[in-house]
């Protein structure tokens, strides 16, 4: 497949609103692709160059991309930035810029899908001191051989946001349809491989190929997630539940085969080297080949847990790990077992997985009690809070482990703190003492693949954090206009507030009263932020609590 054909298909998808039509269009393209193209196409159409768990990352920020496009168009980077400001989209801006270039590209050298992929692999592979120049040369080479329309999707792909509104579920269904498979087999293989590109190759081979893949060590599995609920509802609907503390740390997945141990974070980044004491602790606690799920907690000198931010700092650390290890004691609390000695346990009920876990781990188990009495559960909850934990988790003893899914099988119970996880989509430069840093940050909720603004936050950020945040955001700037900048949406803030108000000033139709920065949620991706629906629910709930809605 030529990359130009891929671009045409993306444009067609962009114009479609219905999920089924999108699925059909994607499905019609799949059978025509060869072995190399099929996985690439499936990832590209989801706006991914590599599978989520892959350590390969492009390492290209918006400014580098703009500079490459500007060079090919014979213009200045500032021209791209201006167009991004006008269009609100880097892809469209670059397309327009290239459409106006004097000299047309050498279209007889049109790039194939596989060649674009190979080029991006080289971009990701460029490392060392000269890496930015090397990446730039490759991007220029790419833009140089592309039509403006191809450049639109190439640019968006590099920024990991294709903006064609297609979700993983639609691509999964398209694979099933294209190769005449029951969707449950595709789903099964996706749980195991966590890469629809590879799954598509298996689907083409047939049902047996799909159903015979299982999770295996050193291929991280997406973590099962929890939703909010209440003790009374869980008991009424499901009877006794497995109660565990909800630790305020960071999620890990531990894999071991023989002597080799590796660890992944909730976002499936490998963190083995950042957490040597966790590797040692778990290596000593089991000698079996396993995949375990758990939380890493930081413990202070008084034996009480330290805030979650302390743990995250350790996850990000690349240098000085030994010194950091001296300063903070990290311990694992393991609560699930996904795989043991060649066998997957995903489909087994939690009660059985727990039994296996208790049998193979001599230490570091997160305590669990199965309880059916509301008062007893409440007592555990209160003990958890007294011990400095976040609350409790209530898990259904007969539920399977469902990777990546959030449902009532795991429910979190914590004190009513009014905070929201929101995407950071822009900022304003600070004033006076804070003039060298971004001062206030623009926040957004999600609504069917779109980010809608809900206002800004400036309060609650210390001077030290201001510097850290600036470093975090400076390479995400997509456009600048006057005093404000737009970011490539990447970072999630947890923000406290006193009330949600209706507001015509923001795209979401809502604003936060007294917003306050709580922390960066680097364990969460943009797809995990609050939805407009949940803001509406909170607004309504608050209106009932206050006796009357305030419009």
Contact residues for ligand AMP, defined by CB under 6 A:
223, 226, 244-247, 251, 266, 295, 335, 366, 393, 412
The pair of three-digit structure tokens given for residue 423, joined into one six-digit string: 């995407």
Residue 226 CB, shortest distance to ligand AMP, in Å, is: 5
**Strand, helix or coil at 515?**
coil
The secondary structure of 466-493, three-state, reads HHHHHHHHHHHEEEEECCEEEECCCCEE
246 is catalytic: yes
Task: Kindly list the distances between the CA atom of residue 212 and the CA atoms of 36, 75, 220, in Å, as whole numbers in the listed order.
Answer: 22, 53, 18
Residue 53 CB, shortest distance to ligand AMP, in Å, is: 17
Residue 201 CB, shortest distance to ligand AMP, in Å, is: 31
Comparison of 101 and 524: residue with beta carbon closer to ligand AMP = 524
Which residue has its beta carbon closest to ligand AMP? 251
Residue 357 CB, shortest distance to ligand AMP, in Å, is: 12
Residue 295 CB, shortest distance to ligand AMP, in Å, is: 4
CA neighbor of 346 nearest in space, from 333, 360, 361, 336 = 336
Comparison of 100 and 369: residue with beta carbon closer to ligand AMP = 369
Residue 366 CB, shortest distance to ligand AMP, in Å, is: 5
E strand segments, 186-267: 225-228, 241-246, 250-257, 260-265
In the block, tokens 């971004």 appear at 438
Residue 165 CB, shortest distance to ligand AMP, in Å, is: 25
Comparison of 144 and 305: residue with beta carbon closer to ligand AMP = 305
Give the whole-angstrom CA distance, residue 36 versus residue 191.
22
23, 439 Cβ separation under 8 angstroms: no
Residue 523 CB, shortest distance to ligand AMP, in Å, is: 7
161, 47 Cβ separation under 8 angstroms: yes
Give the whole-angstrom CA distance, residue 152 versus residue 118.
18
CB neighbours of 451 closer than 8 A, spacing ≥ 6?
A: 423, 425, 444, 445, 489, 526
DSSP letter string, 403-461: TT-EEEEEEEE-----EEEEEEEEEEE--GGGTTSEEEEEEEEEETTEEEEEEEE-TT-
The pair of three-digit structure tokens given for residue 530, joined into one six-digit string: 């609050």
Residue 280 CB, shortest distance to ligand AMP, in Å, is: 21
Buried b (16+ CB within 10 A) or exposed e, 257-292: eeeebbbbbbbbbebbebbebbbebbeebbeebbbb
Comparison of 366 and 476: residue with beta carbon closer to ligand AMP = 366
Comparison of 193 and 366: residue with beta carbon closer to ligand AMP = 366
CA neighbor of 493 nearest in space, from 462, 530, 464, 467 = 530
CA neighbor of 520 nearest in space, from 453, 451, 466, 452 = 466
For 82, phi then psi, to 5°, come to: -60, -45
Instruction: State the Cα angle at 253 between 247 and 256, rounded to 5°.
Output: 135
Comparison of 506 and 517: residue with beta carbon closer to ligand AMP = 517
Catalytic residue (one of 57, 76, 135, 246)? 246
Comparison of 216 and 524: residue with beta carbon closer to ligand AMP = 524
166, 45 Cβ separation under 8 angstroms: yes
Comparison of 401 and 497: residue with beta carbon closer to ligand AMP = 401
Catalytic residues: 246
């Amino acid at each position: 497949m030529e990359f130009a054909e891929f671009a045409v298909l993306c444009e067609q998808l962009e114009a479609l609103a219905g999920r089924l039509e999108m699925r059909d269009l994607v499905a019609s393209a799949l059978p025509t692709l060869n072995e190399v193209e099929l996985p690439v196409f499936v990832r590209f159409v989801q706006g991914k160059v590599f599978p989520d768990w892959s350590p390969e990352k492009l390492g290209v920020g918006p400014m580098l991309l703009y500079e490459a496009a500007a060079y090919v168009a014979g213009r200045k980077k500032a021209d791209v930035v201006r167009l991004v400001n006008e269009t609100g989209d880097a892809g469209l801006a670059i397309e327009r810029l290239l459409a106006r270039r004097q000299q047309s590209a050498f279209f007889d050298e049109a790039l194939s899908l596989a060649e674009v992929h190979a080029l991006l692999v080289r971009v990701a592979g460029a490392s060392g001191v000269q890496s930015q120049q090397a990446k730039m040369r490759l991007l220029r080479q790419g833009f140089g051989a592309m039509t403006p329309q191809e450049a639109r999707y190439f640019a968006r792909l590099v920024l990991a946001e294709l903006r064609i509104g297609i979700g993983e579920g639609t691509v999964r269904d398209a694979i099933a349809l294209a190769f005449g498979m029951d969707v449950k087999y595709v789903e099964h293989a996706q749980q195991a491989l966590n890469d629809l590109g590879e799954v598509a190759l298996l689907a083409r081979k047939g049902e047996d190929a799909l159903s015979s893949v299982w999770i295996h060590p050193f291929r991280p599995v997406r973590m099962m997630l929890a939703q909010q609920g209440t003790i009374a509802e869980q008991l009424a609907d499901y009877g006794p539940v497995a109660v565990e503390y909800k630790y305020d740390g960071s999620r890990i997945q531990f894999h071991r085969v023989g002597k080799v141990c590796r660890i992944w974070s909730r976002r499936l980044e490998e963190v083995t080297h950042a957490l040597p004491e966790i590797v040692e602790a778990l290596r000593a606690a089991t000698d079996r080949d396993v995949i375990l799920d758990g939380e890493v907690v930081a413990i202070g000198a008084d034996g009480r847990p330290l805030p979650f931010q302390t743990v995250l700092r350790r996850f990000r650390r690349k240098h000085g790990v030994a010194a950091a290890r001296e300063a903070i004691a990290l311990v694992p609390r393991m609560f699930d077992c996904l795989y043991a000695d060649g066998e997957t346990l995903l489909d087994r009920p939690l009660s059985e997985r727990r039994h296996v876990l208790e049998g193979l781990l001599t230490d570091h188990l997160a305590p669990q009690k199965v309880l059916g009495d509301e008062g007893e559960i409440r007592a555990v909850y209160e003990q958890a809070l007294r011990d400095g934990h976040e609350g409790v988790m209530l898990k259904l003893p007969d539920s399977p482990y469902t990777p990546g899914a959030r449902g009532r099988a795991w429910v979190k119970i914590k004190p009513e703190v009014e905070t929201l996880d929101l995407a950071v989509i822009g900022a304003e430069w600070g004033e006076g003492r804070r003039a060298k840093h971004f001062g206030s940050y623009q926040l957004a909720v999600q609504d069917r693949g779109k980010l809608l603004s809900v206002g800004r936050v400036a309060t609650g950020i210390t001077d030290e954090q201001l510097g850290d945040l600036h470093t975090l955001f400076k390479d995400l700037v997509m456009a600048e206009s006057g005093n404000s900048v737009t970011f490539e949406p990447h970072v999630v803030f947890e923000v406290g507030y006193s009330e949600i108000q209706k507001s015509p000033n923001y795209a979401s139709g809502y604003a936060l009263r007294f917003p306050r920065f709580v922390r960066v949620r680097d364990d969460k991706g943009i797809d995990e932020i609050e939805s407009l629906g949940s803001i509406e629910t909170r607004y309504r709930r608050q209106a009932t609590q206050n006796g009357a809605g305030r419009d």
